[in-house]
Copies of this chain bind each other. A is one copy, B any other.
Amino acid sequence: MTKQELFENIKRKQSFLCVGLDTDFKKIPEHLYEEEDPIYAFNKAIVDATARYCVAYKPNTAFYESLGTKGLWALEKTIEYIRTKYPDQFIILDAKRGDIGNTSEMYAKSAFEHLKATAITVAPYMGEDSVSPFLNYPKKWVILLALTSNKGSQDFQLVEDANGEKLFEKVLKKSQEWGTDEQLMYVVGATQGSMFADIRKHAPNHFLLVPGVGAQGGSLEEVVKYGMNKECGLLVNSSRAIIYADSSESFASAASIEAKKVQTEMAKYLQAII
């Protein structure tokens, strides 16, 4: 998907919501245990209930890997389902990968050729040759970790060099030598709302994937205030608050209501730019 196509989807759907598919076997409604593939059945119902309110889905690979081949099979089917039934959705494989070149090539092959995701999250610690193999796929995206939403983000990401430049700022600057804003997005945690102004100094035109709204405590209003640009430039993720809104047989309609609630708020903020 191109950046322009993503922006068109955002305008048409009045939403920049990404629904995180952190599907945990222990948290899905018990009546689904009777299904042949409970994880896939859950995801399918969640996707059908929320697709009209979001522009992206973000399955988190850890949750599927923890179930072994069964889980990977559910992941494959989920992505295939979204691609087929909702081809306008931007599908992010949240995998935080990154390794030496020949290994990153394998991860890229897995994400883009095998699973056919639109984007993958990548960790920057190993530098350029660990990231660039993911950039060789036209219309596919790398979403590089910059400033994350967890407490541990303070351990290294905020460390300043001799010139006062923080590590995450260095990641933003350096990585722009590797790819354009048509290939690269950044993960920026919503719990650090005021930092968005700083991020936008270094990456005014890039899309930012923003986790941490909802369960992790970030405010959508603040993210928009400091982070939105003229092409929106934001994909805001919500996982638990939407997919686990209800654990009864009405889980899907509860998810739909929660997604709609976020979309309605987003539509309001989008008025400023469209």
Contact = CB atoms under 8 A, between A and B. Distances in A.
Give the bracket for the number of chain A residues in contact with chain B: 35 or more
Contacts of A171: 156
A128 B152 contact: yes
Interface in A63-108: 63, 65-69, 72-73, 76, 94, 96-104, 106-107
A62 interface: yes
B152 A66 contact: no
Given A68-B114, A100-B216, 13 more contacts: A22-B102, A65-B110, A68-B72, A69-B73, A69-B76, A72-B72, A96-B97, A100-B149, A100-B150, A101-B150, A123-B125, A126-B153, A127-B154
A6 interface: no
Contact of A110 (B62, B130, B159): B62
A26 to B, nearest CB: 11
A127 B149 CA distance: 11
Contact of A162 (B104, B110, B160): B160
Nearest to A130: B152
A80 to B, nearest CB: 12
Contact of A155 (B76, B128, B151, B162): B128
A148 B100 contact: yes
Interface string A10-24: 000000000000101
Interface of A: 22, 24, 60, 62-63, 65-69, 72-73, 76, 94, 96-104, 106-107, 109-110, 114-115, 123-131, 145, 148-157, 159-162, 164, 167, 170-171, 174, 211, 216
Contacts of A100: 148-150, 211, 216
B62 A106 contact: yes
> Which of A110, A161, A211 lies at the interface centre, i.e. has the most chain B CB atoms within 10 A of its CB?
A110
A128 B153 CA distance: 8
Closest 9 CB pairs of A and B: A127-B152, A127-B155, A62-B106, A128-B152, A65-B110, A129-B152, A66-B106, A66-B110, A100-B150
Contacts of A130: 150, 152
